[in-house]
Amino acid sequence: GGSSVSISGNLGDASILLPQVTGPIRLEANADEDRNRVWTWQTEAAMDGTLLVATGSAVDIYGTPVIAASGKLQADDLSDFAALARRPIAGQLEPDFVGELSTDLSRISAAMTGTAVDLKTGVAEADNLFGGSVAFDIDAAMAGDVISLQGSTLDGPRLRLNADGILTPEAGRFALDGRIADASLLLPGAPAEALDFSAKSHRQGEGWRFQSNASGAGLSMTAQGLAIDPLGEEAAVDGSLRATAADLSILSNLAGRPIAGQLALEATGQVLADLTGFDLSASVDGKGLKTGQAAVDRLLAGDLSARIVADRDGEAVNLSTFDLTTALLTAQASGNLAADGSEMKVDARVADISPFAT
């Protein structure tokens, strides 16, 4: 035979830990050890509005214990746990779960399926997306140097998300796609239209090949390229970006400025993460651009076209091409900037200075 342990009773008033909850914490638990020193256990813990039921096992408890568990949690109001989480969380949560943990953290796995209703995280943008009943299915694991996220989903009336990936010391891949049903939930002022997005990446040598896309609500973006040694001292990105916005005003909150107008951007090249080196070319076309600076906005009024080609190697910045044309301003520049001397040629013409006359 083996040992047995049982606990039954009330553990005191829940308000000691959770100020918003009154009444006792009730606990029923028992564990039994068999002749092979494997423990099996069952537990049920409850308080007003919350119930946890779980069963599991524990092996090698005198060495490196491995604990397995499965069960169900029912939390009628997550705001009961706001003080403990130190965040204004709220909503209902009902997951079924299965998991395993090695106490040396060499092996961890967790799978959860269930629903969350009107979930609040304390982050306004996320809270807008988690409204209503959201079904979730999450399967994550770590075994040694292998980390995986398999077929994980969120599916609600405002947000749909799918994610899948695996990372090993030699290889890796990741894919994500989803839809925001109403872009104005994330970007105030945006049309009440869907915003679709996707991203995928796979390891290539010491780098990661990537591609990402987003479209909807007057926005589009495509980025692709290679992230070179992303965790190293010389991390860099070599790739291209294409983006358009029918109305920049919907990005004002993100920019922290009252921006507006239409914009199309294309850029290609390579840039080091610390910006000590780059080789870039870009083109920008816009209409009715506004930056929140009156003098600048007058210069940018109407149609805008800009082209730039520049590179940097250490302290020296070389501007091969800079061309800017608006209804009022035409400007060209080229040259180089360096700590030990600079040489820059600039030509500019303002077609009408009357908008700037005081």
Q: Mind listing the pLDDT tens digit for each residue in 254-275?
A: 888 899 999 999 999 999 998 8
What span, in angstroms and rounded, lies between the C-alpha atoms of 79 and 87? Answer: 9
Q: Is the dihedral of CA 225, 228, 230, 234 positive or negative?
A: negative
Predicted confidence at residue 271, as pLDDT, reads: 95
| Residue 240 reports pLDDT greater than 70 | yes
Q: Indicate the pLDDT class of residue 355, thresholds 50, 70 and 90.
A: low
Q: Which two tokens stand for residue 144?
A: 């040694």
| Residue 253 reports pLDDT greater than 70 | yes
**Residue scoring higher pLDDT (131 or 355):** 131
**Residue scoring higher pLDDT (342 or 56):** 56
When the pLDDT of each residue in the chain is averaged and rounded to a whole number, the result is: 92
| Residue 1 reports pLDDT greater than 60 | no
Q: Which two tokens stand for residue 254?
A: 């993100």
Q: Indicate the pLDDT class of residue 357, thresholds 50, 70 and 90.
A: low
What span, in angstroms and rounded, lies between the C-alpha atoms of 251 and 218? Answer: 11
Q: Could you tell me how far CA 185 lies from the centroid of its own chain? A: 16
pTM over 0.75: yes
| Residue 358 reports pLDDT greater than 70 | no
Q: Which one, of 66, 91, 88, lies nearest residue 78 by Cα?
A: 91
Burial (CB count <10 Å: 0-12, 13-18, 19+), residue 335: middle
- Report, as an integer, the average pLDDT of 190-216: 95
Pairing mode, strands 343-350 and 316-325: unpaired
Q: Which one, of 281, 283, 257, 261, lies nearest residue 270 by Cα?
A: 281
Q: Indicate the pLDDT class of residue 2, thresholds 50, 70 and 90.
A: confident
Predicted confidence at residue 193, as pLDDT, reads: 95
Counting DSSP H helices and E strands in the chain, the numbers are: 4, 21
Predicted confidence at residue 179, as pLDDT, reads: 97
Predicted confidence at residue 20, as pLDDT, reads: 85
Predicted confidence at residue 69, as pLDDT, reads: 96
Location of structure tokens 């730039």:
308
Q: Which two tokens stand for residue 12?
A: 């005191």
**Residue scoring higher pLDDT (349 or 198):** 198
**Percent of the chain with pLDDT strictly greater than 70:** 99
A 10 A CB-CB count for 225 gives 19
Q: Indicate the pLDDT class of residue 233, thresholds 50, 70 and 90.
A: confident
| Residue 167 reports pLDDT greater than 70 | yes
What SS3 string covers 293-321?
CHHHHHHHCCEEEEEEEEEEECCEEEEEE
| Residue 22 reports pLDDT greater than 90 | no
Predicted confidence at residue 71, as pLDDT, reads: 97
**Residue scoring higher pLDDT (134 or 337):** 134
- Report, as an integer, the average pLDDT of 32-46: 92
What span, in angstroms and rounded, lies between the C-alpha atoms of 208 and 200? Answer: 10
**Residue scoring higher pLDDT (229 or 306):** 306
